[in-house]
Amino acid sequence: MALVSRRHVTAGLGAAAISPFAIRRARAAEFTYKYANNLAPTHPLNKRAHEAAQKIKDDTKGRFELQIFPLSQLGSDTDTLGQIRSGAVDFFTLSGLILSTLVPAAAINGVGFAFDGYDTVWKAMDGELGKYVRDEIAKSRQIIAFEKIWDNGFRQTTTSTKPIQTPADFDGLKIRVPAAPLWTSMFKAFGAAPTTINFNEVYSSLQSKVVDAQENPYAIIDTAKLYEVQTYCSTTNHMWDGFWFLANRRNWEALPEDIRAVITKHINAAAVAERADVEALDKVLREQLIAKGMKFNDVKAADFRDKLRSANFYSEWKQKFGDKAWSTLEASVGKLS
């Protein structure tokens, strides 16, 4: 556990042995906690987290220090999930789609074509659907989630052969997907041929035509230079993904109530600010990708929902998530199954 008690400088050490600066540093933080994430330091999430860390330090008068470890410095997502469960890491931001390996309900925000835009996303995730998922996370007994989920963006479809304009355009398409049942199930429902490939092999697989398509948010398409091996970007918005800000329950409850209140205030405010950052960045990235040669087209989401409905995708996942989870989702997004 990353709890650090206040250090006391004893009288016997003598003023000559320790400088005033060293004494201030020794007394700087009563509690020092670790926060891990898998994103680059330049991502809006880390920028806002650093701002929040400074505000927390200021408002607690130096009693609490949040140490940030970006870019999976403390281990892979799976490793770090284990660490936060044990208390070796205090805070961790993780996609609900990955968290679902521990808390199945956490994947529900990834249901295909469930959200028609950010207004619907925040209505659901700041409302009853988000509360339902947080309650399910809390049942793990080891971790809890903060109220505001952070944004990872909508996922888009890129191809080298033709744009995706209708559900029929997916028929037979060799598309790379992450190793998750929700992705495989959805693209099979469209008649595509989903293939699981590690992300570090995606570029070469597209280049060598092992697959002809992939799906990711704009930021990933840009930073991975997928525009070099893909011609079309169809703004399918087929899945929305976010990051839950998780805390180890035991370490969290070890903090004084007043410090927990300050942390909660600034972490939730940072999440809301990061959402606006990501939405603004998406608009900029689209223009940048067009300048780099990608051809964009928008799609009619209703047609894709109808196809998933007729292929029994929604009824299948309603059964897997359960009636309560599904009815909570539909209360925010409308009828799916």
In whole angstroms, give the CA distance from residue 155 to residue 140: 29
Helices (H), ranges, the chain: 20-26, 44-59, 77-86, 96-99, 118-125, 128-138, 181-189, 202-207, 218-223, 249-253, 257-291, 301-310, 313-321, 323-333
> Any idea of the CA torsion for 279, 300, 157, 148, to the nearest 10 degrees?
30
Residue with tokens 């079309």: 232
Residue 217: count of CB within 10 angstroms of its CB: 20
User: Which pLDDT does position 176 carry in this prediction?
Assistant: 96
Contact, 252 vs 214, CB < 8 A? no
List beta partners, residue 213: 159, 175
User: Which pLDDT does position 28 carry in this prediction?
Assistant: 74
In whole angstroms, give the CA distance from residue 204 to residue 174: 14
**Predicted TM-score of the model (pTM):** 0.87
pLDDT in tens, the chain (337 residues): 444 443 333 333 334 444 444 444 446 799 999 999 998 898 999 999 999 999 999 999 999 999 999 989 999 888 999 999 999 999 999 999 889 989 999 999 999 999 999 999 999 999 999 999 999 999 999 999 999 999 999 999 999 999 999 999 999 999 999 878 899 999 999 999 999 998 889 999 999 999 999 999 998 899 889 999 999 999 999 999 999 999 999 999 999 999 999 999 999 999 999 999 999 999 999 999 999 999 999 999 999 999 999 999 999 999 999 999 999 999 999 999 9
In whole angstroms, give the CA distance from residue 19 to residue 27: 13
In whole angstroms, give the CA distance from residue 75 to residue 98: 15
User: Which pLDDT does position 316 carry in this prediction?
Assistant: 97
**146 CB-side CA count, 13 A:** 28
In whole angstroms, give the CA distance from residue 35 to residue 23: 26
